[in-house]
Structures are given as C-alpha cells and as structure tokens.
Amino acid sequence: MANLQERRNKDGKLISYSIRIFRGRGPDGKQLKPFTATFEVKPTWSEKSARKKAEAYAATLEKEVKEGSLENARQRFDQYCDYVLELKKRSGTKQTTLKGYRYLIPRTYKAIGHILLKDLRPDHLNAFYMQLEEEGSGVEQNMAVAKNLPAILNNKGMTRKELAERSGVSLNTVYLIVKGNPTPVKKALAICKGLNMELEEVFTTERKVNTLSANTIQHYHRMISMVLEHAVKEGLVVQNVAKRATLPKIQHKEVNHFQPKELIKIQDALEKEDIKWRTMITILMMSGCRRGELMGLKWDRVDFEQGTIRIDNNVLYVPGVGLYEDTPKTEKSKRTIALPPQTMELLRQYKKCQEVEIKRLGNYYRDQNFLFAQEDGSPMHPDSVNTWLDRFSKRHGLPHINPHAFRHSMASLLFYKGMDSVSVSARLGHAQVSTTSNIYAHVMEQADKKSADILADVFDKKAEDPSS
C-alpha cells in the first residue's frame, strides 16, 4: 500500500502530497529503496478532493511499480540504449550493424543520453538533428598526409603488403595512403611504427572537420527510433516519439554505373589478366553481387548444370574482430543467380587451374572450399578487390573502378532492357522492391522514356505507311 504524507506551507495550506511506495525485498533479502513521487495540489481544489486525486494517482503508480514499467521508464535514454544494444548482440545482430551503432553512440548520448525515456520529446530530437546539420558538425579529426611514402618504401626495400602486415593496417588503406589520401593520425602512427620512423618524418598533419550529410543524420534517427520502438514493445512508453520528429531531406545521388562501351573495354583488359582475377571480376560484372558475397562464394554453391551460383555466405572484416564468415545482409540477400554460359565456362577453366595449384601447394593449402582464397586457402579480405581494381585500371588506362559500380551497372542494364523492378530486386538481393526503386529511380525513368520513344517510333511509322 502506498504511503501518502501531506505537505503544507507556513500558512498551513495543503500544497502537495509526498508519495512513498514500498518495493519489498531484493534477492539478497535486503529492503529495496522505496519509490517516491510528489503530487502537486492545485489551489482551487478542496482538501477532500485533493486527497482523492492523490490516492488515485498513488494507486496508479503502485500498479506500475509492481509491473516494473514505471521504474524502467525513469531510466535515462543512454541506460536503456545500452540495454537494448546488449539484447541485440545476444540475439545475433550482425557485427557490422553493432559497429555502426557504437559509432553513433557518443554524439547521441551527449545530446539526449541524460533525458529520461518518459520525458523524451520530438523537439529534443529535432534540436539534435539540427545540431548535426550545422556546418562543421562532423567529428573533428587530426588527419595526416604522407610526404613521399613511395620513396621511403623503395629505400627500405619494403612492399606495400609488408607495410600493411607490419603496421596492422589493411592493404587497401596502405595503397590509399601511398597515393596521398588523408588518413587519421592514429593510422599514420601505425604506419610509422611499421616503418620504424617518427610521424614528422613521414607525414604532415592537419585538423579537419566535416559536415554530416542528411543520410548520416538518418542513421542517427534510425538508431534512436529502434531503441524507442523497443521501449514501446516493453510497455515503458506509450509511443515512439521519434516517429514525430522532423528529418532533413535526403538528396538522392545518381548511381555510379558504367556504360556498355566501358564494360566492353574492361572485359577486353581482363583478357590480359590472371584467370583468378579475370573470373572474380567477371562474376562481379555478371551477377551484381556485393564484394563480401563474392569473397564468401564456395564451390558447393556453384551448379554447373543449371548455370547458377548460390549466394548465402559473406566474408566480412570488422576491426577488433578480423575476417569472419556470416550470412548475407538480409534473408532476401540469400539468392540463386543465373550466369551467362561464357561465365560458367570461365568458372570451369578457373576451377581446373585452382585444382592444379592446390595440388602443387600440398599441405600448405588448407582447403576451405572458397572460390577465391589466399595462398594458404584462407578467405580473402574484401578490400583486396578494391586494391586490385585500382591497380588494374591504372595498368590499362581505365577510369577509376570500384566493385559496387558493377552492381549498379548490371541493374541499370537490366532496366534499360526492360526487366521489371521485382526481378531486378530479387537478383540484387534487396529486402524490399522499394529499395531498388529508390536507388534506381533515375535509371528507371530514363528506361521508361526510352520505351516511350520506341512506342512513338512504331506508331509514327504505322501512320506514315499508306497501306496501314
């Protein structure tokens, strides 16, 4: 039973009730700290009416305390968010997703972490999103640019791969640093450690602050909404206030894809390359799979009779975790993709070459059934595709190539050839057709205009034909 105690001012007028609700004993047998609250009495109420209202309020509080919902609703957002993310981790949420949440946490907690769940309002979130939109709102970093790293490596007789291994930095990052791309000082220091040199000898440093994009702000919003949706599910709050917040408009960029003539040039250049990489890039080009899905392909998922590959495995890399295998991005990302006969024939040739190489390596090669593996049979780093393509494009005088551009190119070509969005979405492995429609809206619009031109041409010719 709740305990009510009157509070009066110096004139003896009733101004409030102090409510005290006992919570029993904990697992250790000790008395739990009582829940306390204050009920304010309005000046227009009679004392009898005020007492009844206070008792009704206390009864509601006591019910909520016994159910546990009120105590939890008095948690701060940061406390509850930690709890929800731990649940996500235990329920098998992907490492890459958890890594994304951890990146968003510091700024979110600084802005709204101290606010109680029950007190969080849409205007709190709007103020946070507006703050994120401000110029220079990005994370301030000390950045470093290499002075003349190629010459240093040459003098030391060290390859980029050796530097990556010594410094613990990915090979793709090493290549970008060598090219002169800015890198966080933390990575620059790791590079210097691998070279056994001082920071000032290798890099020049500068402070850099970026402005966050509308897309990044959407990521913050989705995490907050996810946490509050869980609070609604557990009955801690009545509604998800994030649904009533106002977000900046995302400016959809046109997808980066190759024209058919460019793809033919790439194919011609691939003919001069090692069969392993030729096969790898051809599959990227023809299947539209993601690079992690490509690295996760295994031979028992190749059906030579049907001319298909099965995408149901992913090789990913997360700092602190390393390379690991996981299921694809979503359930619909698990899919069977048909490949052209020429690509399947290339796969057959590559398989024969790989078998010869495995036999030559003997016990050194630990076969894990990967289509594309390192020299010892272990999975390849997804970044290695970017690194190889960068060097490949320079060797053949081609424009910069990134793996995802092949995915966009395949989808764009299919739309131009009249394939429907449902079929294209299934091939890409998108969770929803709307995702495909949003990404390729501009391409679909162009394809539709092309269809209209074809129809107009047909009917114009019919009108000009006297015999019609």
pLDDT digits (tens, 9 = 90+) for 21-67: 887 776 677 777 677 778 889 989 999 999 999 999 888 878 776 76
Helix (H/G/I), strand (E/B), else coil: 335:
strand
Q: Are strands 35-40 and 140-146 parallel, antiparallel or unpaired?
A: unpaired
DSSP code of residue 370 = B
| Cα dihedral: 77, 79, 83, 86 (round 10) | 110
CA–CA separation, 259 and 262 (whole Å): 5
What proportion of the chain, given as a percentage, has pLDDT over 90?
49
What proportion of the chain, given as a percentage, has pLDDT over 70?
89
> Could you give phi then psi for residue 145, rounded to 5 degrees?
-125, 130
Going from the C-alpha of 194 to that of each of 10, 147, 164, 165, the distances in angstroms are 75, 16, 8, 8
Does residue 202 contact residue 146 with C-beta atoms inside 8 Å?
yes
> Could you give phi then psi for residue 435, rounded to 5 degrees?
-60, -45
The pLDDT value given to residue 460: 62
291 confidence band (pLDDT: 50, 70, 90): very high
pLDDT in tens, 61-85: 787 767 655 555 578 899 899 989 9
Q: Is the pLDDT of residue 2 over 90?
A: no
| Structure-token pair, residue 285 | 């080009």
What sign does the dihedral 20-21-26-31 (CA atoms) show? positive
168 confidence band (pLDDT: 50, 70, 90): confident
Average pLDDT, the chain: 86
Distance of CA 323 to the CA centre of its chain: 17
Does residue 19 contact residue 3 with C-beta atoms inside 8 Å?
yes
**pLDDT, average across residues 276-300:** 95
268 confidence band (pLDDT: 50, 70, 90): very high
Task: List beta partners, residue 298.
Answer: 370
Which residue in the block uniquely carries the two structure tokens 């081609």? 398
Among the listed residues 173, 96, 169, 160, the one whose alpha carbon sits nearest the alpha carbon of residue 329: 96
Does residue 241 contact residue 221 with C-beta atoms inside 8 Å?
no
Does residue 221 contact residue 240 with C-beta atoms inside 8 Å?
no
Query: How long is the chain?
Result: 468
What global pTM score does this model have?
0.62
CA–CA separation, 229 and 222 (whole Å): 10
Going from the C-alpha of 353 to that of each of 147, 327, 356, 381, the distances in angstroms are 42, 28, 5, 21
The pLDDT value given to residue 68: 59
253 confidence band (pLDDT: 50, 70, 90): low
CA–CA separation, 406 and 288 (whole Å): 6
Among the listed residues 208, 143, 154, 228, the one whose alpha carbon sits nearest the alpha carbon of residue 177: 143
Among the listed residues 273, 146, 132, the one whose alpha carbon sits nearest the alpha carbon of residue 213: 132
353 confidence band (pLDDT: 50, 70, 90): very high
The pLDDT value given to residue 114: 93
The pLDDT value given to residue 223: 96
**pLDDT, average across residues 127-132:** 90
Strands (E), 114-153: 140-146
Task: List beta partners, residue 293.
Answer: none
Q: What is the CA radius of gyration of the chain?
A: 31
CA–CA separation, 120 and 313 (whole Å): 40
Distance of CA 75 to the CA centre of its chain: 28
Among the listed residues 229, 369, 230, the one whose alpha carbon sits nearest the alpha carbon of residue 299: 369
Among the listed residues 209, 149, 158, the one whose alpha carbon sits nearest the alpha carbon of residue 177: 149
The pLDDT value given to residue 97: 87
301 confidence band (pLDDT: 50, 70, 90): very high
| Structure-token pair, residue 91 | 């329920």
Strands (E), 13-85: 14-21, 35-40
Task: List beta partners, residue 432.
Answer: none
**pLDDT, average across residues 141-148:** 84
Does residue 98 contact residue 217 with C-beta atoms inside 8 Å?
no
First and final CA of the chain: distance in angstroms?
93
CA–CA separation, 434 and 329 (whole Å): 16
Alpha helices by DSSP H, listed for 234-340, are 260-270, 275-287, 291-295
Does residue 31 contact residue 50 with C-beta atoms inside 8 Å?
no
